[in-house]
Amino acid sequence: MGMGLRIGLLASHTGTNAQAMMDACGDGTIDGEAVVLISNNSKSGAAERAQRGGVPFVHLSSVTHADETALDQAVCDALHEYDVELVVLAGYMKKIGPITLEAFAGRIVNTHPALLPKHGGAGMYGSHVHAAVLAAGDTESGVTIHVVTDEYDSGPTVAQARVPVEAGDTVDTLAARVQGVERGLYVATVAKVAWGEIKLPIVCGGAGE
Tell me the pLDDT tens digit for each residue of 113-158: 999 999 999 889 999 999 999 999 999 999 999 999 999 999 999 9
State residue 57 phi and psi, 5-degree precision: -115, 135
Q: Does residue 208 carry a pLDDT above 70?
A: no
Instruction: Read off the pLDDT band of 204 (50, 70, 90).
Output: low
Is the pLDDT at 186 greater than 90, yes or no?
Answer: yes
Comparing 93 with 82, the larger pLDDT belongs to 82
pLDDT band at 205; cut points 50, 70, 90: very low
The answer to whether 112 is a known catalytic residue is yes
Under 8 Å between Cβ of 24 and 53: no
Domains located in the chain, CATH noted:
1-105 (3.40.50.170), 110-181 (3.40.50.170)
Cα dihedral sign, 126-132-135-140: negative
Q: Which of 112, 119, 130, 146 is catalytic?
A: 112
Residue 27: band (very low, low, confident or very high) from pLDDT cuts 50, 70, 90: very high
What integer pLDDT is reported at residue 89 of this predicted model?
A: 97
Q: Would the pLDDT of 206 be above 50?
A: no
What does the pLDDT average to over 60-82?
97
Task: Decide if pLDDT at 159 tops 90.
Answer: yes
Q: Residue 34 has what pLDDT?
A: 98
The backbone region for 196, taken as left when phi is positive above 0, alpha when psi lies in -120 to 50, beta otherwise, is left
**Is 144 exposed, middle or buried, given 0-12, 13-18 or 19+ CB atoms closer than 10 A?**
buried
Which pLDDT value is given to residue 198? 96
The C-alpha atoms of residue 49 and residue 34 are separated, in whole angstroms, by 12
